[in-house]
Structure 1
Amino acid sequence: MANAVENPKRRALGRGLESLLPRLSATAEAPAAPPPPAVAEGTPREIPVGEIDRNPYQTRTRFDEAQLAELAASIAATGVVQPILVRPQANGRFQLIAGERRWLASQKAGKETIPAILRQVSDEQAMEMTIVENLQRTDLNPMEQARAYERLSRDFKMTQEHMAQRTGKDRASVANFLRLLRLPEQVQGKVEAGELTFGHARALLALENPETIVSAAQKVGALSMSVRQTESYVQGILNPEKRDKGKGKENKEAADPNVREAEERLTRKLGLKVHIEDKNGRGRVIIEYAKLEDFDSIFGNLLAP
């Protein structure tokens, strides 16, 4: 009889397990809720422009406001054609890698979002990508390019050959840009502001002495010398004995770059050496020829309609 009597506690426990097991089984068999769709790396997505931070490794320091306004007008009308490149940050925001002009222009155009491609990269990779992307563009000023190459050399230990390969430039071109960093800061500022070109800067580097370079740069700017005139002027400073030779001709050329430019244009046009002697608006033009065919060429050029 005792065995036939079921323990009420045991019966209650059994009912409890039986009542739980179906629910556990149902829970195990129920399909899990699908995760939210992830945006694959490399696929453009719309990101709020206000959630993007400027790249601290950006080498560009100047933006043409007129060109930026034109881009903003284009974006307002047709949108951003090429997505920018960003990377996620720990604070939930994004950091720009490439496309700063498009990002700034989108803000000017009043856009709330901008198409962007997400990249998971380290600080070093982000800096390298930003610098290389900028160097592959054509609108960086010479000093911005020089500093970008210098940063690749300093921070990534890249050789000039490696930098040339990564940016698609010639190695000699890379070397020439790096040489610009030897210019005094005052002259670097003139190059960055567009007052002197890359060609002017290269010519001035031959002087080496910082004070002489600054003085020459001021004169080149004041007289609006061309690159060729600047080269002649620099050579006159480096070789004063040659400059003074031949009735002071080189002195005259250095002092009056317009005369020198006229001589060079006539020489290129005629294919013969041309000298201009000018004094207060009076003088003569001397054309040198070595054979009768040269004279016939001069005659034909002068009488040509």
Structure 2
Amino acid sequence: MASITDNKRRALGKGLDSLLPRVQTPAASTPTPSAEHEGGKPREIAVDLIDRNPFQTRSTFDDAQLSELAASITANGVVQPVLVRPQANGRFQLIAGERRWRASMQAGKKTIPAILRQVSDEQAMEITIVENLQRADLNPMEQARAFERLSREFHMTQEQMATRTGKDRTSVANFLRLLKLPGTVQNRVESGELTFGHARALLALVDRPDLEKTAARVAALSLSVRQTETMVQGMLNPEKAEKKESKPEPPVDPNVREVKDRLQRALGLKVTIEDKNGRGKVIIEYGKLEDFDTLLEQLAGVRA
């Protein structure tokens, strides 16, 4: 019998609709708002009867993109219905589609096509995260806070969060680690000044008082992730960094470099040439036996 986890992975692969139980029509009773258009067909709902999803993981919406979407809605209407769940007070709560809802209000629309689903708080939050991850990337901090909320409010393990959002457990753990960064550094990541890679490199300094100053320097100098990693390692191991700086690599003869490049292109393997006054050695590195067999055939004409 397939496990619950396997079933969930298959559900994610089928799209959002497979995660959403359909609203059931009460037998022998007058149809209620939650029962209308049962079967997944959209209905028009007044935009002012819809409340924002309290589990929304996206904290910022690009004004220019919203204006473009509003202009498109004015011209062509809402192409894809939003997803809502009925509330006891006769109102509706968004599950997915906040950008379309906001843009519809901006375009002056009185109603918006919506599909009704009856889901729990946990399902609503799951669907919000999945919908955002599938349609437009959240920034790293939004993802980190979403995973933290799943853990805190719904007591999910990292493995469960990974399964339900389609990410691997290591990625979930790395996002959660970002929350250890000071607020000022998190703000730089959220604004795009620093990338996820920069943030991961800076985590090595999380217990040091100069972390925020270092993050500001990385942003000001527009350092790459590799440069940031090098700088952080130099801060953590100053003696090693000084030793490396005190012994710069000797200049390589242009002719030797050219021969090395030609050999690497011909063999398809990493080649190192150590030359001193016309004497030295050539080192050819291989990563697997198939590479060694190919090398043997190229150099000696011998098939392994």
Q: Same fold (TM over 0.5)?
A: yes
Q: Counterpart in 1 of 2:161?
A: 163
Match of 2:282 in 1: none
Conserved in 1, the CA contact under 8 Å of 2:126 and 2:165? no
1:267-278 matches, within 5 Å, as: none
User: RMSD between aligned alpha carbons?
Assistant: 2.7
Corresponding letter in the other structure for 2:82: I
What stretches of structure 1 of length at least 5 have no aligned partner? Answer: 1-33, 251-273, 276-284, 299-305
In the TM superposition, residue 295 of structure 1 has moved relative to its aligned partner by: 6.4
| Structure 1 residue 41, shift from structure 2 partner | 4.7
Following the alignment from structure 2 to structure 1, what is the Cα–Cα distance between the partners of residues 31 and 261? Answer: 88
1:294 maps to 2:292: no
Instruction: Supply the distance in 2 between the matched residues of 1:249 and 1:138 (Cα, whole angstroms).
Output: 48
**Cα separation, partners in 2 of 1:205 and 1:109, compared to 1, 3 Å:** same
Report the more deviating stretch, 119-128 or 86-95.
119-128
> SS where residue 53 of structure 2 aligns?
coil
- Residue 211 of structure 1 aligns to a residue in which SS? coil
Report how many residues are paired: 233
Tell me if the contact between 1:41 and 1:119 (Cα under 8 Å) persists in the aligned partners.
Answer: no
Counterpart for residue 106 of structure 1: 104
Amino acid in structure 1 at the alignment position of 2:176: L
Q: Given that residues 43 and 114 in structure 2 are in contact (C-alpha distance below 8 angstroms), is that contact kept between their aligned partners in structure 1? A: yes
Instruction: Report matched runs for 1:107-186 at 5 Å.
Output: 107-186=105-184
Deviations 1:222-275 (A, max 9, x none): 11111111111111101101110144479xxxxxxxxxxxxxxxxxxxxxxx98
Structure 1 residue 138, shift from structure 2 partner: 3.5
Contact 2:43 2:113 in 1 (8 A): yes
Residues 84 and 103, structure 1, Cα contact 8 Å, conserved in 2: yes
Equivalent position of 2:204 in the other structure: 206
Pick closer, same or farther for the CA change 1:247–1:70 going to 2, 3 Å: same
Contact 2:126/2:164, CA 8 A, preserved across alignment: no
Distance 1:135 1:242, change over 3 A: same
Deviation at 1:122, TM superposition (A): 2.8
Find the counterpart in structure 1 of residue 232 from structure 2.
234
TM-superposed deviation, 1:127: 2.8
- Work out which of the two has the higher radius of gyration on C-alpha atoms and give 1 or 2: 1
Q: Distance in 2 between matches of 1:35 and 1:162?
A: 37
- Deviation per CA, 1:120-173, whole angstroms, max 9, x where unpaired? 223333233323333444321100000001111122222222211111112211
Quick one: distance in 2 between partners of 1:84 and 1:180?
31
Determine if contact 2:150/2:156 at 8 Å carries over to the other structure: yes
Instruction: Give the Cα separation in 1 of the matches to 2:254 and 2:165.
Output: 47
Contact 1:183 1:210 in 2 (8 A): no
- CA deviations on 1:85-118 (whole Å, 9 max, x unpaired) are 1111122111111100010011111211111011
Q: What is the distance in 2 between the residues matched to 1:125 and 1:51?
A: 21
- Measure the CA separation in 1 of the matches of 2:63 and 2:52: 18
1:204-231: CA deviations, max 9, x gaps? 0011225222121011011111111111
Match of 2:45, SS state, is strand
Q: TM-score, normalised by structure 2?
A: 0.69
Select the structure with the greater relative contact order (CA < 8 A; seq sep ≥ 6). Answer: 2
- From the superposition, tell whether residues 163 and 218 of structure 1 become closer, same or farther in structure 2 (CA, over 3 Å): same
Give the structure 2 partner of residue 29 of structure 1: none
